[in-house]
Structure 1
């Protein structure tokens, strides 16, 4: 395979046409077509279905694109790093965080560091990813630091601290429950709930809390709208599609007009932490950012409790119902998403 072939293939998928890919790469339409055809001949299967001037990626093409896009992005980082080394620049700080923490906590921490951060970190890359991808990115060295929800007990990760804060109710402005200082969890069970999809993280704790709040209630009676990101849930609440119980970082760190955030009468814990690779020492800038993330979380989240990283197993046991604590080997290979 040649780099030009992979670039042409990725450009066609990204833009949706051979002509647009040619404009993007500064090459002619016939040249793009030839490169893609050469790549198809080399790998032995079609990447696109062709219907006149239109092309549609095949299933195999979509599967290959994920790895090609990752490889091209890595190559771009190498080129950029080579240029930075030539100019004597410091290595960029690559940070991975789950969407809630990337939106509600990380920007405020970087803003608090202010000019000091600009002096110590010349280039910062912040990307959002699932908790599993955060752990994998730090373990493989793609990111020097990760901010993620629990569990974080993966071999090779150093957990610096674990934070705990209570989930909150998110209601449309003008909702009768918004007049209460504390919202009863049982009062939300009769409403349409906008909630997270993954049963192995926050969603599982929500289901258990609602079951305890309304013992004897029929399961399946409550209407649900599911999503994979807290910001989507808040937007749905603002649109009047229901109410939600969410982790507090997005609700308080990224407030939206038209919604009201209230504490609950039942504590549903949200736990998260900061991780780095055990084998890689932290730079002073990373240590400063780690401390600033703690400071911002304490200021932002009411009732925030800071735990030592050694409390990880005990916190997991407290979160999970009896008999559901995963074995250590399963924790290390967990592929849970939030």
Structure 2
């Protein structure tokens, strides 16, 4: 990179082209002329030292490096927007803008429940809630572009303070007319020869699901994996298979056409509430943290553990109820 500092206008032009899919569309979004945006993209490519877009006549498409670079630019621009929002709030004498980040299941399931119970006088006029991958939640908290985060384990990092860890057993989701839907408990061995719907990330919940199924001696005939438990549940509703997911969404949202059943083996889903190390929790964050702790206990079988001491991941073990699956 030729310069130590990249002009923010170049990054805005790049983000606009990525969003619009064309120079013309980006110029329209930014209120700039097409030649100006073209020149800004060229200047940015010169600054970073590699091509961000492939050109084919008037058409452009992001290069693999451009796609990776966009993830960083998007996070930076969002952080700058939050800084502007906070500056405006300070100038107006208002509560500072609140930024939260959580993995999608928690952002859609637990966070709304918690926010609804917080004293509204403690909430600022603007609240940003981002649904991100666990890795991006951690990075956002580390960079302090968000105030508080919820991420699945592992989250150990010297720049994070772990407020608490929640452990809750996974459940099976099936279409209401599935042959196994009448059972009170789904046995992992019943997945043998059936299609499994599961998470894609091999370093988090997926590893524990695979290990538990292997110990049960089951071999799914097929697997569909996804990065969203909501997607897995939606596929189960369409009779595409049996979903093994954390019970966050199933315990907080109505799932018409889907039945949820406990498993005969406890497959723990673990997640943590994290904040930047050394940063004192504001009254608003403290209230949200307390509300989240209450909200997570509404999930069947949920257990709360304190901070760093609870970051080890337990192996699955037999559940205590109806292990014959009938």
Q: Which residue of 1 aligns with 2:304?
A: 306
What is the root-mean-square deviation in Å for CA atoms of aligned residues?
2.3
Tell me, what secondary structure is at the counterpart of 2:174? strand
Q: Structure 2: how far apart are the matches of 1:278 and 1:286? A: 14
- Note the alpha carbon deviations across 1:89-126, whole angstroms, 9 max, x for none: 2222211111111111111111122xx13444333211
**Residue 190 (structure 1) aligned with residue 186 (structure 2):** no
Q: Which residue of 2 aligns with 1:131?
A: 134
2:174–2:242 CA contact under 8 A, matched in 1:
yes
**Residue 159 (structure 1) aligned with residue 158 (structure 2):** no
- Distance 1:196-1:244 versus aligned 2 partners, 3 A rule: same
2:266–2:316 CA contact under 8 A, matched in 1:
no
Q: Structure 2: how far apart are the matches of 1:45 and 1:139? A: 28
Q: Where does structure 1 lack aligned partners over 5 or more consecutive residues?
A: 322-338
Q: CA deviation at 1:171?
A: 0.3
TM-score normalised by structure 2 residue count: 0.87
Give 1 or 2: higher helix fraction. Answer: 1
- Distance 1:71-1:303 versus aligned 2 partners, 3 A rule: closer
Q: Which residue of 2 aligns with 1:209?
A: 212
- Distance 1:121-1:169 versus aligned 2 partners, 3 A rule: same
After superposing the two structures, state which structure 1 stretch, 122-131 or 285-294, moved more.
122-131
Tell me, what secondary structure is at the counterpart of 1:148? strand
Q: Where does structure 2 lack aligned partners over 5 or more consecutive residues?
A: 1-5, 318-326
Q: Structure 1: how far apart are the matches of 2:256 and 2:68? A: 40
Tell me, what secondary structure is at the counterpart of 1:84? helix
Q: CA deviation at 1:275?
A: 1.7
**Residue 30 (structure 1) aligned with residue 35 (structure 2):** yes
After superposing the two structures, state which structure 1 stretch, 280-289 or 48-57, moved more.
48-57
